[in-house]
Structure 1
Amino acid sequence: MSATVVTVSLLTRDSNESAIPQSRPEDSLKQISDECTLAASYFDIGDGGRTITLQGKGETSPGLPWSQIECILDATRMPDSIRGRFGNTRAMDGMQTADWDKFSASWNYHPRSGVNLVIAIR
């Protein structure tokens, strides 16, 4: 007798109509990055898919557009309270950190070089 395994992924749409996973406890950040179609030059997956490092576009530096960074934030369900801190980070604020659900993040920002963001599964 053989067994059949069926995997179902529930998706919703955000205001930008991008697909956002509803439940993904076993998914790695690599799978999330694939769904967000990130430009390969501006992100790196480490620690066996448990860490993602993102380089956002700045005034004088290439990087990921905001829409792709926002896709990662949506997929990891970063809370609004942390998104507010993330979006209001200034160059003089230095490195910032936050934890939510199963994730830990650190980031900094400069207008010329853009945002540098590391998200890890805790």
Structure 2
Amino acid sequence: MTDLTAPDPNESPEDPRPTIGTSANGPEGDASSASTAPTGKRRYLVVASAVAILLAAAASILFLTQRDSPLEEARQTCGAGRDDWAMLGDDGNSLTLRSVGKERTGLKLEQLQCYLTELKVPDAVIAEIEGTRALDGRQSGEWEDMGASWIYHPDNGLQMIITLSD
């Protein structure tokens, strides 16, 4: 019976490395280890794939951080008339809308409706806005990731401030 713990006669105790022509797995091991070693082409493909993944991740992050806020998108879609009728503030995190009144110019009803639609203001909040009287003072409502406060006077129209929630 062969003792598997006995030292290989081709190896010396001072130099545990295999001798030329053999490997730790025996002479047959040399062929299999050569086939598993990455070739230059395979290494190139691995590096190129890793670089492509990193570039895609960086582009995704850049795209997500450069997107317009929903308030900016609504302003682009619905228009502003004049700048003071639909003013963006707080780096796109707030939008102040001013509608037409008896003594003041502002957004027309159609434009105001466009903003409410684009910002997905729920019917309940729209009903509160429509029911606001001058005597009611400033009112507020919230939905999804936005909040709004508004005041109405027949002479000055509706002034609404819409903010993005954190």
The answer for the alignment partner of 2:150 in structure 1 is 107
Matches of residues 29-108 of structure 1 in structure 2 within 5 Å? 29-39=71-81, 40-108=83-151
Find the residue that maps to 1:61 and give its secondary structure: coil
Q: Which amino acid aligns with 2:77?
A: E
Where structure 1 has 5 or more consecutive residues not aligned to the other structure, the ranges are 6-25
Q: TM-score, normalised by structure 1?
A: 0.77
Q: Which amino acid aligns with 1:51?
A: S
- Of structures 1 and 2, the one with the larger relative CO (CA 8 A, separation 6+) is 1
Instruction: Calculate the aligned-residue CA RMSD, in Å.
Output: 1.6
**The 10-residue stretch of structure 1 (38-47 or 57-66) with the greater mean CA deviation from structure 2:** 38-47
The answer for the alignment partner of 1:121 in structure 2 is 164
2:104 and 2:115 mapped to 1: Cα distance?
20
Where structure 2 has 5 or more consecutive residues not aligned to the other structure, the ranges are 1-51, 60-66
Cα deviation 1:67-108 (Å, max 9, x = unaligned)? 111111101111111110101100000000011001000000
Q: Which amino acid aligns with 2:84?
A: S
Find the residue that maps to 2:107 and give its secondary structure: coil
1:56 and 1:93 mapped to 2: Cα distance?
18
Cα deviation 1:9-49 (Å, max 9, x = unaligned)? xxxxxxxxxxxxxxxxx641112101112212312101111
Q: Which has the higher strand share?
A: 1
Q: What's the offset of the Cα at 1:59?
A: 0.9
Find the residue that maps to 1:53 and give its secondary structure: strand
Q: Which amino acid aligns with 1:37?
A: G
Flag as ranges the 4+ runs of structure 1 deviating above 6 A.
none
Q: TM-score, normalised by structure 2?
A: 0.57
Q: Which amino acid aligns with 2:121?
A: M
1:71 and 1:38 mapped to 2: Cα distance?
11
